Amino acid sequence: MADSPSLGDFEQLILLALVRLGDEAYGVSIHNEIVRRARRDVTVAAVYKTLERLELKGFAVSTVGEPTAERGGRRKKHFRIQPSGRRALAQALGSLRRMTDGLPVDLDAVADRGDA
């Protein structure tokens, strides 16, 4: 059984983006990473709402950076994955790997054909 709260698939994508982006993880960069890599059409608002939920769960933490001229003096809110978020992500990815291990079907080919 799971020791920590489960993660939804979008929460998993957000946490993966935090891992990939490291110190460069803020709302827009996270959004762009998900659009580019996961090919998901998501809004920046959905990203921020999910980041807020991940913070409430203790899986991510945010810090506010210094104002920058390029942003008209506004500050960026940066996000970082917490150890509990890494554990939850590892558990979710492990479950997915175990479920797909040994499947006789090439799922990419099935998805490309549109089969159910």
31-58 pLDDT, tens digit per residue, is: 999 999 999 999 999 999 999 999 999 9
pTM of the model: 0.82
Residue 67: is its pLDDT beyond 70? yes
Burial string for 65-88 (b: 16+ CB within 10 Å, else e) reads eeeeeeeeeeebebbebbeebeeb
Q: Which of 76, 93, 89 is nearest to 27 (CA)?
A: 76
Backbone angles phi, psi at 14, to 5 degrees: -60, -45
Domains of the chain plus CATH, in order, are 9-113 (1.10.10.10)
Compute how many other C-beta atoms are within 10 angstroms of the C-beta atom of residue 10.
Answer: 17
